[in-house]
């Protein structure tokens, strides 16, 4: 188009391109926040115990446990959520599970669902319930499965910049339902993935340890971290400088590399801050001058 | 003047900057997010600690940690904060000489303490005089904050812990130490001179390890450090409320949101507003001894296996198939799920209330399926013995394969009549294990004589619903009541041969493009015209309809609304015999009506059959088989909506006639 042609000719626009995608009207923006995450103490576990498809299962939902009948196997679970940097927000979930097995049983695959409550406060208040789905299977029976990963926010559309966003503050698994379809993993995942905001266990790096001794339980250890998130939201901040010659800035160049965030140093902060500082200062100078003139004339009048 | 204002602005900015940094220093009241409430930092270097839980050096939240007094600075807090009146600052003089045991008690005491809720403002409720405190001492313990007394690696009482340099029980054993597991215990780093206890090992002149410990104050290099504090609670956890009988529940509720073992076990009682069942409710059955149960309909649950204790929901039509793991020689005659009686010997309560009538399940039809797959309906005279029977160790006969319940209900939500139809058949160990069972339940309204006709849309087609098709008779268009008996595609089978029937067919669903097929062995093509006709029948299916309704609910009487399937294939025309190689249905549809509620409408439908023009051997490239495909494509032909522009406004301004008076 015409814009593209002019872009090639003018070196000024090129300079703006590799600076940063500074846009004239900011319609989308991002911010960083560590979410407030709490494990909801709701879990669903399914383990295949033979190559023929025998399985044992357990959940924190009594209605499902009743339905499982002979396939119910109650594990021993210990959970700890840790606030490592003492900032009041939890950083790590340590989930340990020991599943007792009969002599003829071996664990070939594990499916685990954990539910979390997830809250963001910085821009809009986001309150939702989310889940983590862990699945691992192996052709060799295992003794232990270790999983360590991050609970990442998956965002399909930007969040509002203010207000309460609680459309997903509903149970991911309906534990009050007596029907088997409510605990069907396919149904749960399908309706969950339908949401705009979900969480996912990223980089779980499962470690499948083989060689279980007879009589010892199958162990599942999971460490799930709650890291800092970059959240997209629409912004209504409008750039204050207006010049018709800078329309080239509207061009967007999608970043090819994955962006990584960093803490800018003092001088970099100053570099971008002084422009705003001066622009606000000038307004205040003018404003206070008016006040002083006014008060001076007032006092003169009173005298 | 202007310079003063600029200075004012500058100082405002500085003030804001400082106050943002100094929130913790000022410590205004109970901070909601408890930023940096760690008063004591412990540097632990022991790698053998079992879990991170143990390495957590700070006492549990709830233990009060008044800020340690910097040794030598002598800056005493002016007064106690208002909320923690009962909280004396722990000083070394008030502590007993042997401080280990009370310290341990402190570390273990608050096990029942709830974790801090970051979102809620902790409001310490003061115990009233009447309520009896739950702790035996009647008060909460004071906190140990002196860095010289904190020793996180001291895990055994009156015994020396190895490599624990701060353990006061260690005497001679220090000679065995190789390093200090805890090297420093330091106070709040935000202070300009935080106290710090340092432990290190030296070597004595005899070559033994020697303990060198010191408690001193560090000097902070930070420009914005805190010289003195006037609010002592800014760096410590707020004093917890003393749990009493009266406030225990509220404290528990305040700090607990989700824990294990607090599931709501109470069955949903529901409002007994109406006597009849409501949509989605469980139905009650009456046992032999008058006990009330729930009407179960097996369904797949977490896995594909049958969950027997899945309740059927009132008015929810369902078709579920699930697999059942059966050990044939043990379970054939004993497993209830395989027996017909399990499904027929049930009595349902017509309604929810206690005195509701009991409706027995009537046996409608029993169909026997032979080992080859043919089905015959059994004439019931009440004499048959249809319990599962083990014919030999491999085959079990009369096993329930499919159960269909049909329930008639009244507008009051009462069950009037229940009929069950069963499909019984053979289960052989080699081919049909795990056993696949199907369960179906349908609800029929009472006093509706005509079988309801299923629409595929109202009026426009809905994506995923079968096409409505019919054929023309002298009386007009006729169509089948069964929505599945319509224009259909060949399904796939294990045996891919086109000429070996019977073939499964799947209905053509609106909006879903699909493809399927079968294979033709060239050696079967002996009589060309016979095979050609046979293939055509297989591809088109039985009762091939010639008309398709343009809307999902087109009435049969409106003949103009039925679209004829155009076909270009006429086997008679071809000079030599040709074999149809592909069957393709091309359905053009358009959106009809308003933009908001556009109704899909079928405009035309065309059948394209490709047949071979050269010899089959050439086409298949020397292979002995050739593949025959059948496909359907939906092509949207709707024109894009045009934007409705308004007419361009005309300027209706006229100059006065004498505007250019002197010149014109």
If you count them, how many residues does chain A have? 303
Best residue of A55, A76, A110, A179 to probe chain B, by most B CBs closer than 10 Å:
A179
Q: CB within 8 A of B575, min separation 6: which ones?
A: none
ipTM: 0.70
* Residue predicted with more confidence, B663 or B3: B663
Beta bridge partners of B209: B203
Neighbours of A81 (CB within 10 A): 16
| Residue labelled with tokens 């500074």 | A22
Q: How high is the pLDDT of residue A102? A: 93
0.80 cut: is pTM over it? Answer: no
Alpha-carbon torsion, ordered B29, B31, B34, B36, to 10 deg:
-60
| Residue labelled with tokens 């399909």 | A156
Distance CA B39, CA B56 (A): 13
Alpha-carbon torsion, ordered B592, B594, B599, B604, to 10 deg:
10
Q: CB within 8 A of A284, min separation 6: which ones?
A: B5, B6, B9
Helix (H, G, I), strand (E, B) or coil at B96: coil
Neighbours of B545 (CB within 10 A): 23
Q: CB within 8 A of B609, min separation 6: which ones?
A: B536, B539, B567, B568, B569, B580, B582, B583, B584
Q: Residue A175: list chain B partners with CB under 8 A.
A: 263-264
Closest CA relative to residue B588, chosen from B550, B629, B560, B556: B550
Instruction: Tell me which long-range contacts A9-14 makes (C-beta under 8 A, separation of at least 24).
Output: A10/A248, A12/A248, A13/A248, A13/A251
Alpha-carbon torsion, ordered B301, B302, B303, B307, to 10 deg:
-30
Q: Residue A46: list chain B partners with CB under 8 A.
A: 302-303
Best residue of B302, B304, B312 to probe chain A, by most A CBs closer than 10 Å:
B302
Q: How high is the pLDDT of residue A4? A: 44
Is residue B502 reached through a cis peptide bond, with omega within 30 degrees of 0 on the bond before it?
Answer: yes
Q: How high is the pLDDT of residue B55? A: 35
Q: How high is the pLDDT of residue B13? A: 47
Q: Which of B5, B51, B258 sits opposite A38 (nearest CB)?
A: B258
Best-predicted range by mean pLDDT (A159-163, A252-256, B587-591, B639-643): B587-591
* pLDDT above 90: percentage of residues in chain B: 17
* Residue predicted with more confidence, B207 or A290: A290
Instruction: Characterize B506-527 residue by residue with b for buried, 16 or more Cβ atoms within 10 angstroms of its Cβ, and e for exposed.
Output: ebbbbeeeeebbbebebeebee
Q: Name the pLDDT band for B632 (thresholds 50, 70, 90).
A: very high
Distance CA A233, CA A125 (A): 12
Question: Is residue B10 predicted with pLDDT exceeding 60?
Answer: no
Could you read off the pLDDT of B23-77 as tens digits, one per residue? Answer: 343 333 333 333 333 344 455 444 443 333 333 333 333 333 333 333 333 333 3
Closest CA–CA distance from residue B622 to any residue of chain A (Å): 40
Q: CB within 8 A of B95, min separation 6: which ones?
A: B102, B144, B146, B149
Helix axes A2-9, A11-19, angle to 10 degrees: 90
Question: Is residue A243 predicted with pLDDT exceeding 50?
Answer: no
Distance CA A78, CA A95 (A): 6
* End-to-end C-alpha distance for chain B, whole angstroms: 62
Q: In whole angstroms, how far apart are CA B58 and each of B19, B44, B233, B648?
A: 27, 12, 17, 76
Could you read off the pLDDT of A82-103 as tens digits, one per residue? Answer: 999 888 899 999 999 999 999 9
Could you read off the pLDDT of B284-295 as tens digits, one per residue? Answer: 888 777 678 899
Closest CA–CA distance from residue B187 to any residue of chain A (Å): 15
Of all helices (H) and strands (E), which one includes residue B366? strand B358-369
Beta bridge partners of B184: B43, B198
Q: How high is the pLDDT of residue B204? A: 81
**Torsion B122-B123-B124-B128 (CA) sign:** negative
Q: In whole angstroms, how far apart are CA B197 and each of A193, B23, B149, B182, B190?
A: 53, 27, 9, 10, 16
Is residue B434 reached through a cis peptide bond, with omega within 30 degrees of 0 on the bond before it?
Answer: yes
Helix (H, G, I), strand (E, B) or coil at A150: strand
Task: Parse chain A into domains and list their residue ranges.
Answer: 2-25+267-302, 29-263
> Does B58 reach chain A within 8 Å, measured CB to CB?
yes
Question: Are the beta carbons of B581 and B612 closer than 8 angstroms?
Answer: yes
Closest CA–CA distance from residue A13 to any residue of chain B (Å): 35
Could you read off the pLDDT of B319-329 as tens digits, one per residue? Answer: 999 999 888 88
């Amino acid at each position: 188009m015409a814009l593209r042609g002019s872009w090639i000719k003018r070196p000024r626009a090129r300079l703006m391109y590799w600076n940063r995608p500074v846009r004239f009207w900011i319609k989308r923006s991002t911010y960083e926040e560590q979410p407030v995450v709490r494990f909801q103490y709701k879990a669903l576990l399914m383990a295949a115990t033979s190559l023929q498809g025998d399985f044992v299962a357990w959940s924190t939902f009594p209605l499902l446990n009743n339905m499982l009948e002979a396939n119910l196997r109650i594990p021993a679970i210990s959970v700890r959520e840790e606030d490592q940097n003492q900032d009041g927000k939890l950083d790590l979930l340590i989930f340990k599970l020991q599943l007792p097995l009969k002599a003829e049983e071996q664990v070939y695959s594990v499916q685990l669902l954990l539910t979390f409550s997830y809250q963001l406060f910085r821009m809009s208040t986001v309150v939702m319930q989310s889940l983590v789905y862990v699945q691992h299977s192996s052709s060799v029976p295992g003794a232990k499965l270790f999983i360590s990963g991050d609970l990442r926010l998956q965002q399909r559309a930007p969040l509002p910049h203010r207000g309460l966003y609680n459309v997903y503050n509903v149970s991911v698994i309906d534990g009050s339902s007596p029907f088997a379809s409510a605990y069907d993993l396919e149904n749960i995942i399908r309706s969950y993935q339908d949401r705009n905001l979900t969480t996912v266990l990223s980089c779980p790096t499962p470690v499948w340890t083989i060689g279980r001794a007879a009589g010892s339980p199958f162990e599942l250890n999971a460490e799930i971290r709650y890291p800092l998130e970059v959240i997209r939201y629409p912004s209504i901040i409008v750039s204050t400088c207006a010049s018709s010659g800078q329309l080239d800035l509207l061009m967007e160049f999608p970043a090819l590399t994955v962006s990584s965030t960093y803490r800018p140093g003092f001088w970099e902060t100053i570099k971008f801050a002084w422009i705003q500082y001066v622009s606000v200062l000038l307004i205040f100078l003018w404003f206070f001058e008016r006040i002083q003139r006014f008060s001076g004339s007032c006092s003169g009048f009173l005298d | 003047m202007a310079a003063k204002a600029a200075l004012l602005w500058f100082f405002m900015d500085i003030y804001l900057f400082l106050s943002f940094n100094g929130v913790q220093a000022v410590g205004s009241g109970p901070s909601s997010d408890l930023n940096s409430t760690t008063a004591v930092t412990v540097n632990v270097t022991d790698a053998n600690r079992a879990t991170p839980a143990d390495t957590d050096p700070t006492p549990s939240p709830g233990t009060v940690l008044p800020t340690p007094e910097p040794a030598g600075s002598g800056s005493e807090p002016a007064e106690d904060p208002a909320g923690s009146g009962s909280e004396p600052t722990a000083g070394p003089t008030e502590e007993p000489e042997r401080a280990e045991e009370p310290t341990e008690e402190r570390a273990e005491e608050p096990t029942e303490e709830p974790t801090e809720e970051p979102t809620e403002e902790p409001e310490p409720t003061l115990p009233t005089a009447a309520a009896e405190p739950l702790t035996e001492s009647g008060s909460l313990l004071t906190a140990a904050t002196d860095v010289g007394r904190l020793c996180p690696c001291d895990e055994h009482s009156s015994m020396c812990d190895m490599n624990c340099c701060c353990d006061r029980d260690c005497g001679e054993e220090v000679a065995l130490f190789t390093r200090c597991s805890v090297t420093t215990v330091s106070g709040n780093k935000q202070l300009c001179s935080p106290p710090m206890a340092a432990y290190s090992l030296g070597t004595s002149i005899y070559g033994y390890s020697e303990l060198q410990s010191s408690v001193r104050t560090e000097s902070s290099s930070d420009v914005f450090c805190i010289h003195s504090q006037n609010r002592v609670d800014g760096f410590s956890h707020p004093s917890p409320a003393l749990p009493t009988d009266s406030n225990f529940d509220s404290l528990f509720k305040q700090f607990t949101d989700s824990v294990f073992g607090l599931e709501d076990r109470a069955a949903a009682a529901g409002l007994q507003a109406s006597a009849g069942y409501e949509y989605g409710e469980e139905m009650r059955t009456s046992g032999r001894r008058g006990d009330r149960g729930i009407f179960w309909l097996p369904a797949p649950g977490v896995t594909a296996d049958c969950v027997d204790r899945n309740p059927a929901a009132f008015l929810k039509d369902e078709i579920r198939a699930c697999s059942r793991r059966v050990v044939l020689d043990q379970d054939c005659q004993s497993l209830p799920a395989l027996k017909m009686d399990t499904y027929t010997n049930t009595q349902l309560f017509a309604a929810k209330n206690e005195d509701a009538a009991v409706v027995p399940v009537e046996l409608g039809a029993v169909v026997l399926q032979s080992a080859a797959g043919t089905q015959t309906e059994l004439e019931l005279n009440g004499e048959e013995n249809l319990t599962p029977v083990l014919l030999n160790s491999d085959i079990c006969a009369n096993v329930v394969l499919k159960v269909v319940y049909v329930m008639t209900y009244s507008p009051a939500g009462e069950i009037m009549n229940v009929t069950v139809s069963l499909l019984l058949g053979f289960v052989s160990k080699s081919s049909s294990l795990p056993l696949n069972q199907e369960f179906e339940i349908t609800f029929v309204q009472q006093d509706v004589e005509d079988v309801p006709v299923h629409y595929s849309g109202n009026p426009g087609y809905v994506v995923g619903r079968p096409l409505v098709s019919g054929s023309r008779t002298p009386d007009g268009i006729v169509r089948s009541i069964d929505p599945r008996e319509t224009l259909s595609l060949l399904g796939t089978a294990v045996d891919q041969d086109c000429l070996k029937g019977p073939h499964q067919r799947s209905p053509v669903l609106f909006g879903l493009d699909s493809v399927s097929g079968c294979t033709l062995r060239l050696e079967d093509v002996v009589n060309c015209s016979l095979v050609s006709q046979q293939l055509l029948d297989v591809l088109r299916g039985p009762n091939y309809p010639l008309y398709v309704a343009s809307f999902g609910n087109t009435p049969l009487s409106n003949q103009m609304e039925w679209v004829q399937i155009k076909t270009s294939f006429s086997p008679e025309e071809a000079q030599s015999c040709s074999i149809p190689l592909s069957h393709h249905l091309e359905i053009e549809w358009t959106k009809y009506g308003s933009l908001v509620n556009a109704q899909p409408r079928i405009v035309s439908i065309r059948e394209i059959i490709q047949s071979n023009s050269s010899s089959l051997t050439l086409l298949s490239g020397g292979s002995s088989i050739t593949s025959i495909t059948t496909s359907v494509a939906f092509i949207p032909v709707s024109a894009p909506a045009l934007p409705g522009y308004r007419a361009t406004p005309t300027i209706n301004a006229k100059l006065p006639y004498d505007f250019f008076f002197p010149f014109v």
